[in-house]
Structure 1
Amino acid sequence: MNAGILSLWGVWDTVYQRCTRLQYVDKGKNIFRIVLLRYRGEVLTTSDGRQIHPGDLIIKLHIHNYHLATMFQGIKNDTRMVLLLRRHVLESLPQLAAYVASLPQSEQIKGIVGTTMLYKGAEQLGFTVSEVPLTIFFRYKRWYLKLMIRLIHPDGHKRLHHHQNLALTRVYMSKEELLKRYLPEGSGIGLS
């Protein structure tokens, strides 16, 4: 990615973060940013059989795209990019679990929910994966995420041309599954 575009994106990302309720899990170190909100959508059943209903308190999970772009700068090999992303997700999930467990509203949180095109391997990490409805919002989000792929990936334009039907998916996990899998032992924070 062009250094000038990356610099402009950094400025935009700072403005965007300040104008939204996005919170850093650990700025500069964790690949996730989150928003605590009430879930709107169809009932979701997680891999451990729990349900997230409309109105339930959730953590909306966002991959920090600018952070991802800076990590990928100069990398041209797809396999290396995938391995780097996977490593950062695996390093970030225990911090996310500790962050969620430490929130004052932790008892009420039902799960974590995100929307992404980067869902391969998510089920092995404990997420349930499902398609999103084709609403105007999700069509816009799909367009936006395709733009991110064009910007982040060195061959983004070619990649999108060869994979025109990239699926936008919802990935989600119950809070209990997140804490069971990723809460660091000895953290002093128990499951609710």
Structure 2
Amino acid sequence: MEWLRHIVQHGLRGVNGCYRLLHRLRPAGEVLYVGRIRYRGAAMEFADGTRLTPGDFIGTLHFNNARFAQLDGESNRRAALQFARLMLESLQILAHKARHDPAFSDLAVFHALSWLPPHGQRIGFITQPYPHGASRRLRAAYFRLLVWAFAPAAQTRASARAEPTLYWITRKELLRQFADAEPMRSTE
């Protein structure tokens, strides 16, 4: 069955590469890509006073799925700790970009859709469940495929509940949490 996982990984890497090119995503560390789009949802106001209105540009955060297959997969705990370290490094780089890169310094909010259960409040993320409906079921199925293909630990592949969750972090909160730390790695 491992041979099938490798074939699916190869296909998904191609899909992800095309998606990155089409949406002009740029790396922010080893596990994140960042893009920008116009927001099309309802107006929102965040606890720090940041307002988001339809038509505003927002940053979009996307995982580097192929990088997950390279994590140390001896146990799901070990892989999770390695991912957490790489994610914090990526967020430091993102904060640096939000402060210094003209392509991202005007973005007031960053947004992601992930299969990971709600977490990250300690480092400034706000989470919301993805709305119920056909889109949720389709995204959940895609996330299950991604986890099966790329999760390094068999235990993670077997136990992950790939339910879509919306993640938000404001530029103010990102900078408050991560701007003082210099980026540990460069990806440019």
Provide TM-score, normalisation by structure 2: 0.79
In 2, Cα distance between equivalents of 1:95 and 1:186: 8
Give the aligned partner of residue 67 of structure 2: 67
* 1:117 is aligned to 2:120: no
Q: CA deviation at 1:147?
A: 0.9
* 1:22 is aligned to 2:20: no
* 1:171 is aligned to 2:180: no
In 2, Cα distance between equivalents of 1:41 and 1:152: 31
In 1, Cα distance between equivalents of 2:19 and 2:36: 17
Q: 1:143 to 1:181 in 2, by over 3 A?
A: same
Q: CA deviation at 1:14?
A: 3.2
In 1, Cα distance between equivalents of 2:139 and 2:119: 21
Q: 1:132 to 1:43 in 2, by over 3 A?
A: farther
Query: Are the equivalent residues in 1 in contact too, given 2:37–2:58 (CA < 8 A)?
Result: yes
Q: Which runs of 5+ in 1 are unaligned?
A: 188-192
Q: Say what the alpha-carbon RMSD is for the aligned residues.
A: 2.7
Give the aligned partner of residue 186 of structure 2: none
Give CA deviations for 1:20-78 in whole Å, capped at 9, x if unaligned: 322222xxx42110111111223344343423222221101111111122224xx1312
Q: 1:119 to 1:183 in 2, by over 3 A?
A: farther
Q: Amino acid of the residue matched to residue 38 of structure 1?
A: R
Q: Amino acid of the residue matched to residue 170 of structure 1?
A: L
Q: 1:114 to 1:176 in 2, by over 3 A?
A: same
In 1, Cα distance between equivalents of 2:45 and 2:21: 33
Q: CA deviation at 1:186?
A: 7.8
**Greater alpha carbon shift after TM alignment, 126-135 vs 102-111:** 102-111
Q: 1:157 to 1:49 in 2, by over 3 A?
A: same
Q: 1:110 to 1:173 in 2, by over 3 A?
A: same
Query: Are the equivalent residues in 1 in contact too, given 2:129–2:166 (CA < 8 A)?
Result: yes
Query: Map of 1:72-151 to 2, 5 A cutoff?
Result: 72=72, 75-106=73-104, 108-151=106-149
Q: Which runs of 5+ in 2 are unaligned?
A: 184-188
Query: Are the equivalent residues in 1 in contact too, given 2:113–2:165 (CA < 8 A)?
Result: yes
Query: Are the equivalent residues in 1 in contact too, given 2:98–2:104 (CA < 8 A)?
Result: yes
Q: Amino acid of the residue matched to residue 182 of structure 1?
A: F
Q: Amino acid of the residue matched to residue 183 of structure 1?
A: A
